[in-house]
Amino acid sequence: MKNGFFLCLCTLWFTGAKAQQVDVQHYDIDLTLNDTTNQIEGKVTIAVKYLQNTTRLRIDLAGMNVSGVHADNKLLQYEQGFNALYIKVNAKAGDKGAYTVVYTGIPKDGLFISKNKYGDRTFFTDHWPDRAHQWLPCIDHPSDKATATFTVTAPDHYTVVANGVRVSATNLPGQLKRTVYDEKVPLPIKVMAIAAADFSVTHSGDVGKIPVYSYVFHEDSSHQGYARATNILPYFIQQVGPFQFEKLANIQSKTIFGGMENAGAIFYAENSPEYPGLESLLAHEIAHQWFGDAITETDWRHLWLSEGFATYMTLLYMEHTYGVDTLRASLKEDKAKIIEFTKNRKTPVVDTTVHSNYMQLLNANSYERGGWVLHMLRRKLGDELFWKGIRQYFKDYNGRNASTDDFRKEMEKISGQDLKGFFTQWLYTTAIPKLQVNMSYNENTHAVKLEVIQQQTPLFEFPLEYTLDKSKPVQTILVKDKITTVIIPAVTKPAGIWLDPDTNLLADMSF
Ligand SMILES: [Zn+2]
């Protein structure tokens, strides 16, 4: 996702059910909405496969009043805790079960029932990172992916959209409408989504067999900026692999984020149709469809596999569209953010210190530094191997979960290089290189002496590019020691030195 300008949340966050008792296979979500109260009615059937012998099945759920739980038409005993529903079961590892939870309640979070900026009533789920269980019984953790069916009954003036294919929309007595969507691709809960609002819907075009839609509030129907998705989608399909979802709907919403990468049903902030940076916002969320949605990080600590990838894939799309100077300008901006961020937060990109309040991971480590790591990896391997590795990673982990090590091994397999050192220093180390560079010219020997001092701990190993003459190709020094000295022949004293002229090194350099 992309942070909005007005992110403000004061809710407590709770860790999802991590001790995996079950692997959810499918959610059958039946939700009834109305125009008179904010009370929702839910009937959710969760089909599971047991991973261990279980007598007390824990399902994440907070703030809802459960009126019954049944399986195979039999009522089951249950207890409701503050943050979970516990169902009495008698299951062995390998068993399958399907549990229907019937409940009502007014969601405090995870499903916003509110007015949009035009005063129209709207319903938007907003699950990231683990807020779905504030209205939906589920295993609220990215490691558990499942297919889903969404059946939404709402007053008939609403247009309902969710992940997957729209199966039906049926008018019911009492000016109600029942809309059913079916998602056949296993998704983590964080990118499952439902919206109901008075949308103006446009079919922006098809990319191959993928229909692309724009859902905007009817007052904003003249804004067609989301249609640019039809230009962005082909780039990622060509570079990474097939788009996995049945459609791509770009939806104006009440998400607290600038954009939220719900699979095939991306939510954007309600002011987004007028954003000057809409193209890169679209590219970021569309890139997530591969990185975050199709491949999902195993746990929050590997969030850069979503956000760092979406950040760099956006820069790659912008480079492809507008040229390499656009890439370099963005990398410079991102580098400044990382340097500033690193002064205050002493945690590496793969951050094992965060066990709740995952919002704090929406930071320059996960986004900009993650993106920079991919940029340096691309330069290290070259474009051909880099893209070959990315494609292979997608092929191997599509529909599954991946960790940082999984990604490293894929890139090692493709390149034949040992990348442990590279990954350790850039992703598991807090510092970035802080360099003092000194240059002197000896008129007797006609040589430049260049001295590079690493001031941070631990020491890093990296290529430092430089040139003494901008009209000539860049040279490279391999830096790995505390002090690296090189002597460069020069007939006359050079006018200056350009360090990292092509913006390929994440370092804080003083000269
Ligand atoms: Zn993102």
Closest CA to 216 of 167, 278, 169: 278
Compute, in angstroms, the gap from residue 130 CA to the centroid of ligand 1. Answer: 15
Note the Cα 341 to chain centre separation in Å: 20
Compute, in angstroms, the gap from residue 285 CA to the centroid of ligand 1. Answer: 6
The SS3 of residue 120 is coil
Q: Count of CB atoms within 10 A of residue 340's CB?
A: 12
Give the pLDDT confidence of 164-178 residue by residue, as tens digits. Answer: 999 999 999 999 999
Give the pLDDT confidence of 346-394 residue by residue, as tens digits. Answer: 899 999 999 989 999 999 999 999 999 999 999 999 999 999 999 999 9
The SS3 of residue 191 is helix
pLDDT beyond 50 at 254: yes
Compute, in angstroms, the gap from residue 309 CA to the centroid of ligand 1. Answer: 8
Domain 296-427 belongs in CATH node 1.10.390.10: yes
pLDDT (0 to 100) of residue 11: 32
b/e sequence 132-147, b meaning 16+ C-beta within 10 Å: bbbbbbbbbbbbbbbb
The span from the CA of 313 to the CA of 326, in Å, is 13
Which residue shows structure tokens 């998602």?
183
pLDDT beyond 50 at 13: no
Query: What is the torsional sign of CA 292, 294, 295, 299?
Result: positive
Closest CA to 155 of 210, 215, 198: 198
Note the Cα 159 to chain centre separation in Å: 26
Q: Provide mean pLDDT across the span 269-288.
A: 96
CA distances from 249 to 146, 273, 508 (A): 20, 14, 41
Return all residues near 12 (Cβ < 8 A) that are at least 6 apart: none
pLDDT beyond 60 at 58: yes
Q: Provide mean pLDDT across the span 127-153.
A: 98
| Average pLDDT for the chain | 95
Closest CA to 178 of 150, 217, 218, 148: 150
Which residue shows structure tokens 């109305």?
34
CA distances from 475 to 217, 242, 465, 469, 487 (A): 54, 39, 6, 10, 12
pLDDT (0 to 100) of residue 7: 38
Compute, in angstroms, the gap from residue 259 CA to the centroid of ligand 1. Answer: 7
pLDDT beyond 80 at 8: no
The tokens for 281 are 């916002």
pLDDT (0 to 100) of residue 175: 98
Compute, in angstroms, the gap from residue 129 CA to the centroid of ligand 1. Answer: 12
Compute, in angstroms, the gap from residue 232 CA to the centroid of ligand 1. Answer: 16
Rg of the Cα trace of the chain?
Answer: 26
Compute, in angstroms, the gap from residue 292 CA to the centroid of ligand 1. Answer: 8
**With bands split at pLDDT 50, 70 and 90, how would you rate the model's confidence at 4?**
low
Compute, in angstroms, the gap from residue 366 CA to the centroid of ligand 1. Answer: 9
Compute, in angstroms, the gap from residue 191 CA to the centroid of ligand 1. Answer: 11
The tokens for 112 are 């916003």
Q: Do 296-427 and 434-510 show the same overall fold? A: no
Instruction: Give domain 22-288's CATH architecture.
Output: Sandwich (2.60)
The SS3 of residue 276 is coil
Tell me the CATH class for 434-510: mainly beta
CA distances from 489 to 127, 156, 409, 450, 484 (A): 60, 79, 41, 11, 17
Residues 192/132, Cβ–Cβ less than 8 Å: yes
Q: Provide mean pLDDT across the span 87-91.
A: 98
Compute, in angstroms, the gap from residue 81 CA to the centroid of ligand 1. Answer: 32
Q: Provide mean pLDDT across the span 408-428.
A: 98
pLDDT (0 to 100) of residue 3: 72
pLDDT beyond 50 at 6: no
Compute, in angstroms, the gap from residue 261 CA to the centroid of ligand 1. Answer: 7
**With bands split at pLDDT 50, 70 and 90, how would you rate the model's confidence at 1?**
confident
pLDDT beyond 60 at 409: yes
Compute, in angstroms, the gap from residue 374 CA to the centroid of ligand 1. Answer: 15
pLDDT beyond 70 at 15: no
The SS3 of residue 86 is strand
Summary count for the chain: helices (H), strands (E):
8, 29
Residues 387/282, Cβ–Cβ less than 8 Å: no
What share of the chain in percent tops pLDDT 90? 94
The span from the CA of 60 to the CA of 134, in Å, is 8
pLDDT beyond 50 at 16: no
- Residue ranges of the domains in the chain? 22-288, 296-427, 434-510
Q: Count of CB atoms within 10 A of residue 361's CB?
A: 19
Compute, in angstroms, the gap from residue 288 CA to the centroid of ligand 1. Answer: 7
**With bands split at pLDDT 50, 70 and 90, how would you rate the model's confidence at 2?**
confident
Closest CA to 195 of 235, 166, 152, 230: 152
**Which helix (H) or strand (E) covers residue 307, if one does?**
helix 304-322
Give the pLDDT confidence of 295-350 residue by residue, as tens digits. Answer: 999 999 999 999 999 999 999 999 999 999 999 999 999 999 999 999 998 899 99
Which residue shows structure tokens 């059910």?
17
Burial class (CB in 10 A: 0-12, 13-18, 19+), 482: exposed
Compute, in angstroms, the gap from residue 188 CA to the centroid of ligand 1. Answer: 15
Compute, in angstroms, the gap from residue 367 CA to the centroid of ligand 1. Answer: 8
Compute, in angstroms, the gap from residue 150 CA to the centroid of ligand 1. Answer: 24
Residue 154 sits at φ, ψ, to 5 deg, of: -150, 160
Q: Provide mean pLDDT across the span 25-54.
A: 98
